[in-house]
């Protein structure tokens, strides 16, 4: 009879036996993924124990839903639930491999363009072994179809299913209690998503993220002007006076910002086989009129490039999850650099060689006050002109220069490069530099695309000089975020000439370049500690633009009174004295782990409170759209209806502006265009 093997009941031929098998297989594969696909940083017996058991409560609960039904449906519901959870696990494995983070509801709902562009590199990201995530489902289906496991149609008592559900909730509570004891404030403070998955599990993380997303939606609806009081108090208390040596030194000059995609500080002066990866950038970094910051950190989270843009142009942090530009860029009120400068007589324009909707730029830039947005629709596109995420940098700079020639001066222009983006692909005709030899296929081509970017910058610099813009502009270069994620530790160690890297090394690896050049500016390498949040007040002081009544969380990098606290989005931080990663504190100058004295503990607590407060208040500004309640003196709120980035309308507006304000490069050259020199083989 079915249900009997050698006279004994086969437990797998019962509903509950099959249920336990499904739970076991799912928990095992989840734990394997935790250990092999994610970098969760579980340390010590408590964290390792929680990591091992955290798939169990959610699995008991979700698969237990099937126990409330009867007959064959019970089995197939378990299979379906397993499939849904496995797809979620699979998607996170792929996403994490690219972004070193977990999927959020905001990313899934609002970042369709991010996902579409991720598809361009999916062949590089995905591995055949990833599909082993679905192996248990295949095995279970085969066992059922071949009757190795026979369906038990006898109904379970509903109270039994209820007991299973209550047990699952009880285990969740116990798990949370242990997790919160090890990491207090796990769900109430601003932490990285890795913490939640490490302590509670991937499914619990998803539930918490959904809760957070819904909470954020209601936050805006319930926000009011009084919520700004604590924000203003914090900002005003921490606002620093400018350095008189630099204030107004670039007054009235154009601002040209070059966004160096995925470009890290270690590339400056780095050599492969004795050859400089970035000779043009190295020279620019050392120029006597370039202020170069070598302790400047990226502070991005999931929003990556969009987080960098948010900080650089608003002095507001990105969100703990998702992208602020995607979630809030369309509706929110901002006090962004383009709006502030356009109200001071500047023409403002952004240049990007991909679709306008990527990171919701076509809407966010209107909220920020960009008068022009030259996206992919403005450029001549051929099949070999693009790679990965858009126009190759040499072709992009060449075509963008034609519009730059036409902008009435003074102007504020941002050019976003793209070629140095994962998966660091470049055709052979453009690859003239050796790859590194770490053995990591993701890492090794990185220097090749960085070298191509450097060549493109060199050509653009030649154009700036021949057009006259070089002498009359503040030229800013910055790296937006890391190019090589923490998941590639062995390769990072080789790049840095180390046997291995620890959390301190990885924190220092988050440095990105910031270079500010202007003719007549006293340059040099500045060792002050800062991050992307600090750029906007620095720029405004250099331009001599008073912005001391705006809401900005950064501090002028050139001020002698800045506190030099660099906050990371997960709540960790770096100062000239301390580097705090998780619960470990290092001496910044040496990387030595510190055993804290009582006095040092007080200092760390004070710094942590500052960082936590700063991050939470910035979140409050964005999530509650608090700037709609406050208009600084001398500033006019942006009316998004004033902007239209469609190709025909943009060209017409640009033509009209040139007639009204004949100060463009083209006008000053009596309509004669500047010849742009490039060795891009595609254009020959």
> For residue range 514-561, what is the model confidence (pLDDT) as tens digits?
999 999 999 999 999 999 999 999 999 999 999 889 999 999 999 999
- Annotated ligand binding at 222? The verdict is no
**Quick one: pLDDT at residue 487?**
87
**Quick one: pLDDT at residue 106?**
64
- Annotated ligand binding at 481? The verdict is yes
**Quick one: pLDDT at residue 64?**
94
Compute CA 314 distance to the chain's CA centroid, rounded to the nearest angstrom. 16
**Quick one: pLDDT at residue 143?**
94
Residue predicted with more confidence, 2 or 462 = 462
**Quick one: pLDDT at residue 343?**
97
Residue 305 annotated among the catalytic residues of the structure: yes
The per-residue pLDDT for range 18-28, each reduced to its tens digit, is 999 999 999 99
Q: Residue 412: is its pLDDT beyond 90?
A: yes
Compute CA 495 distance to the chain's CA centroid, rounded to the nearest angstrom. 23
d(CA 476, CA 540): 13
Q: Residue 231: is its pLDDT beyond 90?
A: yes
Asked whether the whole model's pTM tops 0.85, one would answer no
- Annotated ligand binding at 528? The verdict is no
**Residue of 213, 305, 348, 436 marked active site:** 305
- Annotated ligand binding at 480? The verdict is yes
> What mean pLDDT do residues 335-346 have?
97
User: Which band of pLDDT confidence, cut at 50, 70 and 90, is reported for residue 165?
Assistant: very high
Q: Residue 11: is its pLDDT beyond 90?
A: no
The per-residue pLDDT for range 181-206, each reduced to its tens digit, is 887 667 765 445 777 898 999 999 89
DSSP E strand boundaries for 382-502: 386-387, 390-391, 411-416, 473-479
Name the least confident of 141-155, 178-192, 247-261, 560-574. Answer: 178-192
Q: What is the DSSP string of 295-358?
A: SEE----TTTHHHHHHHHHHS----SSS-HHHHHTTT-----HHHHHHTTT-EEEEEESS-TTG
Strands 290-293 and 514-517, sheet pairing:
antiparallel
> What mean pLDDT do residues 582-607 have?
96
Q: Mean pLDDT across the chain, nearest whole number? A: 91
Q: What is the CA radius of gyration of the chain?
A: 27
The CATH code for residues 248-564+648-669 is: 3.40.720.10
Residue predicted with more confidence, 193 or 109 = 193
**Quick one: pLDDT at residue 120?**
52
User: Which band of pLDDT confidence, cut at 50, 70 and 90, is reported for residue 334?
Assistant: very high
The per-residue pLDDT for range 254-298, each reduced to its tens digit, is 999 999 999 999 999 999 999 999 999 999 999 999 999 999 999
Residue predicted with more confidence, 441 or 108 = 441
- Annotated ligand binding at 261? The verdict is yes
**Quick one: pLDDT at residue 190?**
43
CATH 3.40.720.10 residue ranges of the chain are 248-564+648-669
Could you give the dihedral angle defined by the CA atoms of residues 420, 111, 553 and 336, in that order, rounded to the nearest 10 degrees?
Answer: 90
């Amino acid at each position: 009879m079915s249900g009997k093997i050698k006279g004994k009941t086969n437990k797998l031929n019962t509903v509950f036996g099959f249920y336990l098998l499904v739970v076991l297989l799912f928990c095992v594969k989840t734990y394997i993924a935790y250990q092999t696909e994610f970098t969760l940083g579980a340390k010590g017996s408590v964290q390792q124990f929680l990591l091992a058991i955290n798939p169990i409560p959610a699995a008991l609960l979700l698969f237990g839903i099937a126990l409330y039904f009867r007959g064959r449906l019970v089995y197939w519901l378990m299979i379906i639930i397993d499939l849904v959870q496995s797809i979620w696990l699979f998607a996170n494995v792929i996403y994490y491999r690219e972004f070193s983070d977990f999927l959020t509801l905001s990313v899934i709902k609002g970042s369709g363009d991010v996902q579409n562009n991720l598809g361009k590199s999916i062949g590089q990201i995905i591995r055949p072994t990833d599909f082993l995530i679905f192996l248990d489902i295949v095995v279970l289906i085969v066992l059922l179809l071949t009757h190795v496991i026979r369906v038990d149609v006898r109904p379970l008592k509903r109270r039994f299913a209820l007991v299973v559900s209550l047990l699952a909730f009880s285990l969740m509570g116990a798990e949370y209690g242990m997790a919160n004891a090890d990491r207090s404030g796990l769900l109430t403070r601003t932490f990285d998503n890795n913490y939640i998955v490490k302590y509670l599990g991937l499914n619990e993380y998803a539930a918490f993220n959904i809760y957070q997303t819904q909470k954020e939606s209601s936050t805006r609806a319930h926000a009011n002007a009084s919520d700004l009081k604590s924000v203003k108090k914090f900002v005003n208390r921490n606002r620093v006076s400018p350095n008189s040596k630099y204030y107004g030194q670039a007054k009235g000059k154009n601002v040209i910002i070059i966004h160096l995609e995925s470009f890290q500080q270690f590339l400056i002066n780095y050599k492969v086989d004795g050859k400089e990866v970035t000779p043009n950038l190295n020279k620019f970094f050392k120029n006597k009129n370039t202020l170069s910051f070598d302790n400047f950190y990226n502070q991005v989270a999931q929003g990556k490039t969009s987080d960098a843009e948010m900080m650089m142009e608003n002095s507001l942090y990105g969100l703990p999850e998702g992208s602020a530009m995607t979630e809030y860029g369309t509706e929110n009120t901002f006090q962004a650099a383009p709006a502030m400068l356009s109200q001071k007589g500047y023409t403002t324009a952004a240049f990007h060689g991909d679709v306008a909707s990527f990171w919701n730029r076509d809407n966010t830039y209107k909220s920020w006050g960009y008068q022009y947005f030259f996206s992919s629709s403005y450029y001549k596109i051929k099949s070999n002109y693009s790679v990965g995420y858009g126009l190759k940098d040499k072709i992009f700079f060449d075509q963008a220069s034609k519009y730059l020639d036409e902008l009435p001066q003074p102007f504020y222009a941002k050019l976003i490069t793209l070629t140095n983006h994962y998966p660091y692909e470049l055709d052979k005709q453009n690859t003239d530099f050796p790859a590194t030899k770490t053995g990591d296929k993701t890492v090794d081509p990185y220097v090749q695309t960085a070298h191509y970017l450097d060549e493109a910058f060199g050509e653009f610099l030649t154009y700036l000089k021949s057009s006259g813009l070089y002498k009359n502009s503040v030229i800013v270069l910055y790296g937006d975020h890391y190019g090589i994620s923490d998941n590639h530790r062995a390769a990072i160690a080789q790049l840095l000439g180390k046997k291995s890297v620890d959390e301190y090394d990885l924190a220092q690896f988050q440095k990105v370049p910031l270079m500010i050049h202007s003719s007549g500016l006293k340059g040099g390498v500045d060792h002050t500690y800062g991050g992307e949040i600090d750029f906007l007040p620095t720029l405004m002081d250099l331009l001599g633009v008073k912005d001391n009544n705006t809401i900005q969380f950064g501090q002028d990098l050139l001020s002698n009174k800045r506190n030099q606290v660099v906050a990371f989005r997960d709540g960790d931080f770096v100062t000239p004295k301390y580097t705090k990663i998780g619960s470990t504190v290092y001496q910044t100058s040496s990387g030595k782990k510190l055993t804290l004295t009582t006095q040092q503990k007080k200092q760390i607590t004070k710094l942590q409170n500052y960082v936590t407060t700063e991050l939470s208040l910035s979140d409050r500004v964005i999530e509650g759209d608090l700037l709609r309640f406050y208009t600084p003196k001398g500033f006019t709120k942006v009316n998004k209806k004033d902007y239209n980035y469609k190709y025909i309308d943009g060209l017409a507006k640009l033509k009209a502006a040139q007639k009204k304000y004949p100060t463009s490069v083209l006008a000053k050259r009596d309509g004669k265009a500047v010849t742009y020199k490039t060795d891009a083989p595609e254009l020959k």
